[in-house]
Amino acid sequence: MALVTRVPLLSTTTSPCASFRRCRAFKCERRFRRLAAVVSSEMADLSTVLVTGAGGRTGQIVYEKLKERSDQYTGRGLVRTDESKGKIGGADDVFVGDIRDSDTIVPAIQGIDALVILTSAVPKMKPGFDPSKGGRPEFYFEEGAYPEQVDWIGQKNQIDAAKAAGVKQIVLVGSMGGTNLNHPLNSLGNGNILVWKRKAEQYLADSGIPYTIIRAGGLQDKEGGVRELLVGKDDELLQTETRTIARADVAEVCIQALQFEEAKFKAFDLASKPEGTGTPTKDFKALFSQISTRF
């Protein structure tokens, strides 16, 4: 008897094409899930950074730089008034709070990884000064906005709130001149502004939080990234001709300080050579590596 080999019929419900499509769809779904996981991981790796004083001329530049680098940072800003918030775009990531009232700044600080402090008391010129008559203008601070209240209490409140929130690094921008009690800036409005700034810097250095203290020279509204930057200590740069720096360069150093371990637990003076002299600074790791002073 001849053997008969039975050939199984293809299922009428599952064609080869349908099986292929299901397989391809499954592979696509797996690839999509892997891609989504990568994107999710990258988003989780973004560092959330709050800049306070974001309505000021230097603070606004830092805020804008954070927003431009959205692949690295989730930027936030803190300003004092709704008017200031409107001036920098009024985005939802700009918070309104008063650094002299610690409760009002907690929402902005919750969930951040790093804090850049650019708040400062601002002296105002008394009206009636006539430069044609010679002499020097007189300055004053508004009630409640003296350096003791802004540069000491306000910065202390920020440091305390950041520590309570588990912030991993604080970058604080101050001013050169703090080693000299008789510095002319201290006489403005009898505010002793450098004294109070220095007190806040010391408080930060003693806080245990990784910090970078930048004592900037005379601030200029000029283009950044075109000068060789200089770091120093104990106001030595004030004895030279290179004692100024563009606000944009200070802002860039603030951002770069968040990226390098070499910038942590350090305090330094910052100025720049005149444009066209020296080589524009690009290697910030090398710049921070020059610094050995902790305060």
No. of helices (H) and no. of strands (E), the chain: 10, 12
> Which residues face 76 on adjacent strands?
50
- Residues identified as active-site: 175
Contacts (Cβ under 8 Å, ≥6 apart) of 221: 57, 246, 247
Q: Among candidates 235, 213, 250, 268, which has minimal Cα distance to 60?
A: 250
- 102-109 helix and 155-164 helix, angle to the nearest 10 degrees: 50
Residue 260: helix, strand or coil by DSSP?
coil
- Residue 163 dihedral angles phi and psi, to the nearest 5°: -65, -45
**What is d(CA 212, CA 209) in angstroms, rounded to the nearest whole number?**
10
